[in-house]
Amino acid sequence: MGNGNRYFPIRDQFIWKWVREKENSFWKWRQHFRISISLHWKNKIRALEKLLVNPKANVRLILGHAKEVHQFFAPGEIMTIYLNFSDPWPKRRQEKRRLTHPEYLARYRDILGTHGKLILKTDNDRFFSYSLMQINGDDHFRIDRMSLDLEQTSWFNVPTEFEERFRSQGNPIYYLEATLIKGDSHERTLSGTR
């Protein structure tokens, strides 16, 4: 969510990947959109300026709040949600603003398709721990991969502007990838079975 100070879709990195699939007996159509949702209008203006210079047919910018994702997307319409360096909202009274709070996870569950992905990158160890506990505690997500230092893995990664800055300062990048499991609850990934 959010596009930050740099226009990620131009770098072929995206915040949201939107996949619509329509099928009939003769063909299957699939189109990938890169969608950025943010309340920060100054960042949206910068992104729009860059988009005007380098047009992309599959890029959409939404000036809006993450709480409103259900108004922008139909159930099951999103395949991947990227939370790249979200504001950690460190104070206890700000917990409901964190993009991995249970209320947000419930909204993500509504718009993610079956086996949709939630991918988180952050440099904030406390936010990462909080997010790990929230996602692991949600019976509808299964944590597939996590790293306490993404640079030490061989996983494909397109670094964000923040990521490059934090790495240059010697900070580790925390990474988590979870899959939405619709239907029956599953065994909890880290804390054993239910």
Those residues with Cβ within 8 angstroms of residue 84's Cβ, 6 or more apart along the chain or in another chain: 2, 4, 8, 15, 120, 121, 160, 162, 163
Residue type, 126: R
Please give the positions annotated as active site: 87
Give me the sheet containing 141-147, strands edge to edge.
59-63, 28-38, 16-23, 78-84, 112-122, 174-180, 141-147
Q: How many other C-beta atoms lie within 10 A of the C-beta of residue 61?
A: 19
| 71 phi/psi in degrees, rounded to 5 | -85, -20
